[in-house]
Amino acid sequence: MPSRNSFNASTPDRTNFDADVPLSPQVSFIPTPRGTTNEGSSQAARSWRRIVRRAGRLGELAENNVGLLLVASSQFFFSLMNVGVKTLSSLDLPVPAMELILVRMAITWICCVAYMFFMRVPDPILGPKGVRYFLVQRGVFGFLGIYGLYYSLQYLSLSDATVLQFLSPMFTAIAGAIFLREVFSWREAAAGIASLFGVILIARPAFLFRSGPGTHDDSIPAGVDSMMLRAVGDSTTANNESALSAQRLTAVGVALLGAVGAAGAYTTIRHIGKRAHALHNLVAYSALCVIVTIIAMIVMRTPFVVPTRWDWVLLLLFIGIAGFTGQVLLTLGLQREAAGRGAIAVYGQIVFATIFERLFFHTSPSPLSIVGTCIIISSALYVALTKKVNHETKTRPESSDDPSVEEGLLDEHHHDEEEATAGASIPLSDNPSSKSPAH
C-alpha cells in the first residue's frame, strides 16, 4: 500500500523574498479617455448652466416688467411717427397740425373698430357698460393733453413746452398714489426726478439756459412729443419773440393743464384696467379727438390740404399706423403696470427721438444731450431692476359680469397675477363721497 506523508506547516526562516515577476500588460482595443477630455466636458457643462441661469434671470426680469417694456415700446413707435411728421412738414405745402391730428385719430378709430368687429369683441363702439363713464373720461383727459401742448406752442419755445410736457409722468405717479392707492416708492420718485433732469439737459429751456450754444429749438429731437412739435415750431417762432408776459404765463398754465390731462389719461387707463378691451380706450380717445378736431377746423377755418403725391399718402398712412401701434402698446402697458412706474417709461421717447434724429436727419446730439440720455436710460433701468417680484397695489379688486372684462390683446393666462391688480381700484366717482380727479 502506498504510504501517506503528512503535511507539516512551518514558518519561513527568512524575511526577504525575491521580487515578483511582473505580468505582461493586457492589450486593450478601447482607448483610455484622457483626463483633459473630462475636464473640458465639465467646464462646458458649467458654462452651459451659467448661460441657462442668466437666461432665466433675464426672463424673470422681463416677466416682472412686462408693462414697463410695453410702455417703452410704445415710445419707440411714437418717435417713428414723429419722424414721419417732420418729413411731411418739410414738403412744399405742409399739412396743418389739425389735419394731421384728424388723420391720425381717424385711422386709429377705424383700425380699432374693425378689429373688434372682426374678433367679435362685445360693445366695440361704446365699451362695457360698467366703465363707459371712465372711457369718456379717458377721451376727455387725452384731448386736454393734446390741446394744452398745441396751445402752449403758440407762445412758448419748443424747449419750454417740452419740459412742461414731461411733467406728466410725475403727475401720473402722484395721481396713482392718491386716487388708485398704488405704491410709489422713494426709489421710483428719485428715478422720475432724475429722468426729468435728463429731459432738461436735452431740451435746455430758455428760462434755465438763457445764452450760449445749444439753446435754440432746433437742437430738440424730432420726436419729443405727440406729433406736431416740429411741424408747428417754425410757424410759432415769431410769436415766441413778441409774446407778452401775460400770454406766456397763460401758456404755461395751459401747458400744465395739458400735462395734468395726460396724467389723467394714464391714470384712467390704469383704473379701467382689464375691465375693458385695450382698444375700447382708443375708440373713446380717437372718437372724441376726431369730433373736436372737425369742429375746431370749421370754427378756425383751417384749410384741408388734399394730398397730391403718393409720398404724402404713404406718410399720412405711416403716421396713422405708427400712432395706432404706439397707443395700443401704451394702453396694454398701463393695464399691466402701476401708473407711476409705467409713466417713467414715457421718458424713453426723448431717447428714441435723439437716436432717430441722428439716423434720419444726421443731427449730432450735444454733450449735454448725451448726458441727459444716459441719465434717462439709467433711471429706467434702475426702476426695472429694483422692482419687487410681489409688488402689488394697495387696492381691492373689482369684478364685472360683462363678458368683455378679460378681453385683451395679450394672452391672459400669462398674467394671472396682473389681473388681480389691473382691475383693482377704488371707483373715482361712482358715489359722491369717493375722490375723483379733476375733469
DSSP β-bridge partners for residue 397: 424
Give kind and range of the element (H or E) at residue 165: helix 158-165
Give kind and range of the element (H or E) at residue 140: helix 132-152
Q: How many residues does the chain have?
A: 439
Distances (CA, A) of 410 to 279, 388, 407, 419: 12, 23, 9, 12
Tell me the chain's radius of gyration from C-alpha atoms. Answer: 33
The alpha carbon of residue 37 and the mean position of all alpha carbons in its chain are separated, in whole angstroms, by 48
Nearest to 200 by CA among 223, 234, 224: 224
- The pLDDT of residue 403 is 44
The DSSP line for 67-107 is HHHHHHHHHHHHHHHHHHHHHHHTSSSPPPHHHHHHHHHHH
pTM of the predicted model as reported, rounded to 2 decimal places: 0.69
C-alpha span between 9 and 161 (Å, rounded): 114
C-alpha span between 126 and 284 (Å, rounded): 8
Q: If you count DSSP H runs as helices and E runs as strands, how many of each does the chain have, helices first?
A: 15, 0
Return averaged pLDDT per consecutive 10 residues of the chain, 439 residues in all: 58 60 53 54 74 77 86 92 81 76 91 93 92 94 86 74 83 90 85 89 78 49 48 46 67 90 93 92 94 92 85 88 93 87 85 86 84 88 70 42 45 44 41 37
Which residue is listed with cell 394730398? 307
Q: What is the sign, positive or negative, of the torsion defined by CA atoms of 63, 64, 70, 75?
A: negative
Residue 181 DSSP symbol: -
Task: Decide: 277 and 187 in contact? Cβ < 8 Å.
Answer: no
Q: Which residues contact 41 (CB under 8 A, 6 or more apart)?
A: none
Task: Decide: 339 and 111 in contact? Cβ < 8 Å.
Answer: no
DSSP β-bridge partners for residue 424: 397
- The pLDDT of residue 15 is 61
